[in-house]
A and B are shown apart, each in its own frame.
Chain A
Amino acid sequence: MEYKVEAHRIMSISLGKIYNSRVQRGGIKLHKNLLVSLVLRSARQVYLSDYYSGACLNAAQSEREANEWDITDSEREKFPSSTTECDRVESPEEPQQTERPEKEHEHRENDDDLKSDQVDCTSTLQQEQNQNSLDSVANVSSETPPETIKEPKESPSESAVAERDSTPEANGESHQPPKTHVCSNRKRSAEETESGDSPQKRIKVASSDAEGDEEAEEMDTSNVSNLITIFGSSFSGLLSKDGAKPESETEDSGQICCDQMLKNLNPWSTAIVAF
């Protein structure tokens, strides 16, 4: 299990690097961020490879894990339509915000996926896990070879995407599309008005959003087929959330933020697209 700890540590370090790269002088260095994200992906694969083998047994536990996530009041306010699904959506907001500015457009899709993940997580987790292996394989045919392990939490999002595209089957999904759009819009405004951030960060957020607008022609956040493409691309291995870790490190509140960050790898994966 040491490699799991090691992988977890490497993931935290990588996330820290990506976060720090935002405030570095000279702008975000594409090369370094690409390398860091590759390391992060490798570490994540190792980390989750072990998890997946126990995932089917721990479906219920992972749901419990999701419930344990911190939810700040401010976040709750921003999502007045919050149901339990939305609560789970909110919880990754906090750590996500720190990674946000780099992620713009990719992040937008990730938000959608993330929310769909969590929605699925809460409602029909087990059902989807069964569907996942089939759907994810079908949908992510272009997934790069290293991504041989389909993490349960990654799959829900993929299947959610696929299902959204074709026929919404699971419970939470019928109201997903509008909610995700609403959420993503809210999330963006939430990001822009996040409290306690330095002005510098705010400027960078605004600028990265501006850049995101520039890139908007490439990425349409509401385009579901893009979401499928995202999951299909090598980069996207990072996009899915890890869902719950079997170990409940959530007891340590100091760890929670980090864990939540790790659970939501979407934000930082868009480090690359900050231009």
Chain B
Amino acid sequence: MALYNFKKIMVVPTAKDFIDITLSKTQRKTPTVVHKHYQIHRIRHFYMRKVKFTQQNYHDRLSQILTDFPKLDDIHPFYADLMNVLYDKDHYKLALGQINIAKNLIDNVAKDYVRLMKYGDSLYRCKQLKRAALGRMCTILKRQKSSLEYLEQVRQHLSRLPSIDPNTRTLLLCGYPNVGKSSFINKVTRADVDVQPYAFTTKSLFVGHMDYRYLRWQVVDTPGILDHPLEERNTIEMQAITALAHLRAAVLYVMDVSEQCGHTLQEQLELFNSIRPLFANKPLIVVANKCDVKKITELSEENQKIFADLTAEGIPVIETSTLTEEGVMQVKTEACDRLLADRVENKMKGKKVHDVLNRLHLAMPAKRDDKERPPFIPEGALIRKRAMEVDAPKRRLERDLEVELGDDYILDLQKYWDLMNEEEKHDRVPEVWEGHNIADYIDPDIMKKLEDLEKEEELKERAGEYDSDDESEDEDMQEIRVLAKQIREKKQLLIVQSKDKDVHGPRMPRTTTKVERKKLEKEMGELGLDMNDKDDSHYAQQARRSRSITKKRKREASAPPTSKTRSQSASRPPRDQSGIRDPKMAKKAKKMMKNSQKDMNRQGKKGEADRHVFDLKPKHLLAGKRKSGTNDYR
């Protein structure tokens, strides 16, 4: 499929770079280690892989070059001709042919050497064969140096060609150099073509786009053509001729009425006649440019006759001036209309139309009586349409004012305000006065409102809405309230007491510690229960029962008498308190203990004897090739 973009062609490297890239790629992407004592098939495979890898890379890259570059037979004849003009078809084809030959030669070399390597019986022999193979492939490529350079230059130029679509609606500008073609295209489109007083300012095709009737149009500007036969034309002029020959476009032949371009009207007419055959089947318009300097009516008789003849033949002659912009729009509309009509006519003649026409059917409802029912267009729409056509001046917009004043413009929205006193519009409004915010007092009735509100509040208060419901409570509620208050106080007291307690060790929840009988009876007594003589209570009985079950213990011969062990354990202080003189030292000892545990905890070790390694051979340290230099470690 044709590429009208030509920008996707990959860079063609120089021969030296190409060789360097491929060889370094082979060195990096294939295994590098082989030893004499490996099995011979392994050695052979190692070297064959390198040869094939290099061959593959060369083959791929060269094939890519061959497919990327457009085949002159496959693309649109306009581009084929343009490329022939610019790059010489023969040279282009030869260069690509050479690349193809090089590709085949490289493939053959690789094949031969791989076949030879099958008989290699030593590492040295296989290595030499691989060296010879790679060397041969690189030499083949070195010989292609000039082809590659040429192709790179072609690619660069090709990617910079303007993207002209040969099939869409196009207007083509042609004429002598310096007649005003580039100025025209600058006026009509957004293309920024260089306009200079010397001839051949435009040296290649330029394209600009414009809109008309909701369609996109291409305008193509060509370099000027001089009047000599086709064989003597140089590359620049040939580009214009190619565009004229292949693009199906509306041709705008631009003539310079004032003869400022340096060629008389007669000469311009000669040129017109000589390239007339190229205008066959194309809508043609003659643009008489630079009419601000000289009008057609100011010309001599014979020159006026030229234009009269042209008009008589049916070719519209339109006077324009790209400087004052008169006539430019007219040319545009005329050319576009003609081209559209031409294209529609051609499409109707073709075969594809019938597919569409067969499916189209305009249904007209059958008349049921004689009443006229014309389409209804509301009045406003008609007025607006008329206004659009007439282009009546609307009310003056801020934007217009801005454009007019330029740098002096200041945005003044206060002029639109609707005040009772017109002179006060531009007064500055203060914000604070005597310590009060003016915005708070903006309401004119505000004092009255405040008085009303205060009166209301007084009434409400008097009615008793804000009184508290003290008397409505009955005896029970009050008692409950008193008790609740006591409970709260007691709770707070308990909390403070518990905080003051000096607990040795972690704070255990209340449920883990045993409640002593004495404590229980004391607390309940404080609350008011009768706690005397409670030996038969359930908690006392339970205690007696549990003690009897757990009391039994086996007597061992080696165990020292319980009196002694008990006394020792009582006298021996626990290990974290032995040898410690004061709380400061205790704190320090505890800190040291915590410090030594930090590392182990971080590594998730169970204790200081845990030497388990989770990952004996981490991949990020051991994988990959060693770059140059030696290491004892890994």
Q: Do A and B bind each other?
A: no
